[in-house]
Amino acid sequence: AIATILGGLGFPVLRQLRKEFGRPLHWTMNTNIVLVMTGALLVLGTVYIAVLEWGNRATLGAHGIADRVLIAFFHSVQTRTSGFNSVDIGQLTSETWLGMDVLMFIGGGPAGTAGGIKVTTFAVLLFIILTELRGEGAVNIFGKRLSRAVHREAITITLLSMAAVMSATIALMVMTHLDLDVLLFEVVSAFGTVGLSTGITPDLPPAGQIILMILMFLGRLGPLTLGTALVLK
């Protein structure tokens, strides 16, 4: 789990932490966003999985309290990109799958090993919404104004990613008679290059497996390239 978290922070963040660990005032906006969002998503993901799976005898319910918390935390971490599991993913509830879909779609930090649209993109969208609700003119994050170009890039990344996920899900629904929840989980996992599976992938037709492979390439190269560009700017 620690290795997954470190890889998900992104190399620019790790490099800055190595050089300026004791000087947080010198950290870039990217470093601050990645650290705050990573911590928040890990905690929220752990609580979400624990609450929904606490009494499920096929997953957390068969373990002691300490182990339940550890398993929930472990799987919250693994949605970043690693794809390891300590319980049968296919035995989780549909509600848990949906929450993990969101975590996998968001992913980790730019220019790192994690997939998804990146936590920085998600944070930008959140601050844009907060700015609109407050009726303010400019989006400010940690005291720094965000340029309009970053707004457009974040919206573009998110909408293109959503279009890829929805198109692939619809295609698989047409090809198979499987339920939406398991298909969506498989598609988001592929797009986020996570590797978690409910166990249906071997049963998909060859065309469906090809769709998942294409999604893996799109999910790895697309958001990574755009996310890195955001960091370098």
* pLDDT tens per residue, range 60-83: 999 999 999 999 999 999 998 888
Over range 172-183, report the average pLDDT.
95
**CA distances in angstroms from 41 to 36, 49, 109, listed in the order given:** 9, 12, 12
Helix, coil or strand: residue 97: helix
Class of residue 116 by CB neighbours under 10 A (exposed 0-12, middle 13-18, buried 19+): buried
Q: What is the mean pLDDT of the chain?
A: 91
Element (H, E) at 84: none
| Entry pTM | 0.91
Tens-place pLDDT, residues 121-163: 999 999 999 999 989 888 888 878 888 888 888 888 898 899 9
- pLDDT of residue 101 exceeding 90, the answer is yes
